[in-house]
Amino acid sequence: MQAFKRPYYWHAIYTRSRAEKRLYQELCSKNIECYLPLHKELRKWSDRTKWVEEPLLRSYLFVKVSEREYYDVINSSYAVRYVTFGGKAVPIPEQQIEALRLFLEDENRKVDLCPGHLEKGECVEIVCGPLKGIQGEIIQIKGKSRIVIRFDSLGTCVYTDISLDTIKQVQPVMR
């Protein structure tokens, strides 16, 4: 008689704040397959600079589990809950996890994330460059890196190629 083989699926799990590496180690010690995407960052302190590996996606870890191990993961010390949709954990296709792994293995590729989804009407602040500190409103999005921003404080609109890592979303200023 052939043994029944349970299907394994990748899922994303929320971790406690800044506990991604600890949850990863805990699950590995339980022989649960997991993946923590890391990227190198140059950190500056007052006395030194150093390259450190940081989680690419803060508070997330990917686990490949069957129904049997599903609850073992959530009962771990640093796990909060699965990423769900309609009350069910969302399975992630294997090829998406593999694509993320291959993408991060390329050391010549700089990886940046844009938090959230930028839309027309959102308020943003320039965080570096000659316009650092100036806040404006997104008027138009043209492709992945070309946006039009209206700066009330400057009395004009700026149409430019701008890297999304040079802006951050902010709450609109009440007048």
CATH of 9-105, one of 3.40.50.620, 3.30.70.940, 2.60.40.10, 3.30.830.10: 3.30.70.940
pLDDT tens sequence across 30-67:
999 999 999 888 889 899 999 999 998 889 999 999 98
What's the token pair of residue 106? 């390329």
**Spatial distance between the Cα atoms of 29 and 78, rounded to a whole number of angstroms:** 14
The domain locations on the chain are 9-105, 123-169
**Spatial distance between the Cα atoms of 153 and 55, rounded to a whole number of angstroms:** 37
- Average pLDDT taken over every residue of the chain: 79
Nearest Cα neighbor of 167 from 140, 110, 129 is 129
Confidence of residue 154 (pLDDT cuts 50, 70, 90): very low
pLDDT tens sequence across 18-37:
999 999 999 999 999 999 99
Q: Name the 3-class secondary structure at 96.
A: helix
Side by side, which strands form the sheet with 167-169?
156-161, 146-151, 135-142, 123-126, 167-169
- Whole-prediction pTM: 0.64
What's the token pair of residue 14? 């929320």
Question: How remote is the C-alpha of 71 from its chain's centroid?
Answer: 24
End-to-end CA distance of the chain: 74
Q: Which CATH architecture has domain 123-169?
A: Roll (2.30)
Report whether 109 contacts 99 (CB < 8 A). Answer: no
Does residue 109 carry a pLDDT above 80?
Answer: no
